[in-house]
A = this chain, B = another copy of it.
Amino acid sequence: MSGNTFGTLFAVTNFGESHGPAIGCVIDGCPPGMSLSEADIQPDLDRRRPGTSKFVTQRNEPDAVQILSGVYEGKTTGTPICLLIHNTDQRSKDYGNIVQTFRPGHADYAYFQKYGIRDPRGGGRSSARLTAPMVAAGAVAKKWLFEKYGTTFRGCMTQVGELPVAFESWEHVPNNPFFAPVADVSALEDYMAALRKDGDSCGARLRVSASNVPVGLGEPLFDKMDADIAYAMMGINAVKGVEIGAGFACVAQRGSTHGDSLTPQGFASNNAGGTLGGITSGQDLEVSVAIKPTSSILTPRQSIDTSGAPMEVITKGRHDPCVGIRATPILEAMLALVVMEHALRQRAQCGDVAVSLAPIKASV
């Protein structure tokens, strides 16, 4: 109810602040009997980790995850899995100058209004650092979904600031710090270098998709797969837009074009992005998100302090100039959590589904 638990059957409760002693989550509802260790979770955390290139925040966090409960002799027991990540590189003094002021575009104004109190150290609870436990939880969901259904998740950068990133191949994604599906990222490097020189930040557009998704997941009215995906993505820091399948392009499409034809060999296209009426069709889930530019920048901005007096704000400290760069593993994790939740719901309501038709994929 207070917005720190994601999901109900596979429920992930997130806790912690950017500069507190630790962050983490409790997963409640993981099916028993799956083998699980820290080694299954750490790789995704490492993909999201700060400090790995000069284009992201230089905060140095190993983000080493520890399983505190829910696993016995290497297997999940069906009881809550607590995942703990210690904070090791807090420098709260970096933020001393913003305690009494509000950064334009930052959460600190709204937090102050909501609670009358806020933890200003590193953004406190509003820090993107709190996505780390979700990446950890997502890794658990990914493992179960892969072992059970062969479901896989992947994502990539499709635009940085004004610079579109044309899709070349998934295989390039792990080979550059931008999660860009291109062989040559020099244009991206130049773009980011210029941005940094300007003391400014930029937005990004990312794509995330899932393959081998069981058919029949999602609920018809409110908990549509589309709705829960949108909810999950908009729950990620800085996301301001979400599309499923053709997304906003469908506005200008005609029904005769948009509706994906069915053939005995499969769907002929995937404008729907893997859902029909809010329920998975067995096609790939295709999602696109818009991430806004970071609000913590060196460029001076007009603002007010807590007394309402005007002032100028400059944010020093360690910040990502484009939070979209490290966001791909987060998107994958959130999508995995949505699919996981609905897979369990489908088991509850329909008993793992007596599927009368095989799921069919777009031939393309």
Contacts of A234 in B (CB 8 A): 224, 226-227, 229-231, 242, 244
Please, how many angstroms separate the alpha-carbon atoms of A232 and B227 in the complex? 7
28 contacts between A and B (CB under 8 A): A3-B278, A5-B222, A13-B28, A20-B69, A26-B26, A106-B259, A107-B278, A113-B279, A126-B220, A195-B254, A198-B254, A200-B255, A222-B231, A223-B235, A226-B239, A227-B230, A227-B235, A230-B234, A240-B247, A240-B273, A241-B241, A241-B250, A243-B290, A249-B290, A253-B292, A255-B297, A271-B292, A344-B349
Contact B275 A110 (CB under 8 A): yes
Q: Is the CB of B110 within 8 A of A255?
A: no
Say whether, besides A16-B69, A252-B161, A254-B161, A2 and B278 are in contact (CB < 8 Å).
no
10 smallest beta-carbon distances between A and B, as pairs: A107-B277, A3-B219, A105-B259, A201-B255, A3-B223, A114-B216, A104-B259, A110-B279, A231-B231, A348-B348
The answer on a CB contact under 8 Å between A280 and B5 is no
List B contacts of A346 (CB < 8 A): 114
Instruction: Please indicate the chain B residues that have their CB under 8 angstroms from the CB of A33 in the complex.
Output: 115-117
Asked whether any CB of chain B lies closer than 8 Å to the CB of A21, the reply is yes
Interface presence of A207 (CB below 8 A): no
Chain A: how many interface residues by the 8 Å CB criterion? 160
Q: A246 to chain B: which residues have CB within 8 Å?
A: 240, 292
Distance from A149 Cβ to chain B, minimum over Cβ atoms (Å):
12
- B264 and A309 form a contact (CB under 8 A): yes
Return the contact of A80 from the options B13, B31, B75, B162 (Cβ within 8 A): B13
**Closest Cβ–Cβ distance, residue A53 to chain B (whole Å):** 19
Contact A1 B228 (CB under 8 A): no
What is the bound-complex CA distance between A234 and B218, given in angstroms?
12
- Please report the C-alpha to C-alpha distance between residue A252 and residue B357 in the assembled complex, in whole angstroms: 43
How distant is the Cα of A203 from the Cα of B103 in the complex, in angstroms? 38
- Flag if A24 contacts B113 (CB, 8 Å): no
Most-contacted residue by chain B among A80, A103, A107, A159 (CB, 10 A): A80
* Contact status of A3 and B222, CB under 8 A, knowing A82-B15, A351-B352: yes
A17 within 8 A of B: yes
Q: Which stretch in A42-50, A55-63, A173-181, A298-306 binds the other chain?
A: A298-306
A295: interface (CB < 8 Å): yes
How far apart are the CA atoms of A354 and B242 in the complex, in Å?
A: 34
A9-B1 in contact (CB<8A): yes
Contacts beyond the supplied A110-B280, A202-B255: 11 A-B pairs with Cβ under 8 Å: A1-B1, A104-B262, A107-B277, A108-B277, A113-B359, A201-B256, A202-B253, A205-B251, A249-B290, A306-B357, A344-B348
Q: Mark A205-216, 1 if CB is under 8 A from B, else 0.
A: 100000000011
User: How distant is A56 from chain B, measured CB to nearest CB, in Å?
Assistant: 15
* Complex Cα spacing A257 to B86, Å: 35
Q: Which of chain B's residues has its CB closest to A359's CB?
A: B113
Contact flag A250-B293 (CB < 8 Å), given A14-B80, A69-B20, A126-B220 = yes
State how many angstroms separate the Cβ of A224 from the closest Cβ of chain B.
Answer: 6
Residues in B neighbouring A39, C-beta threshold 8 A? none
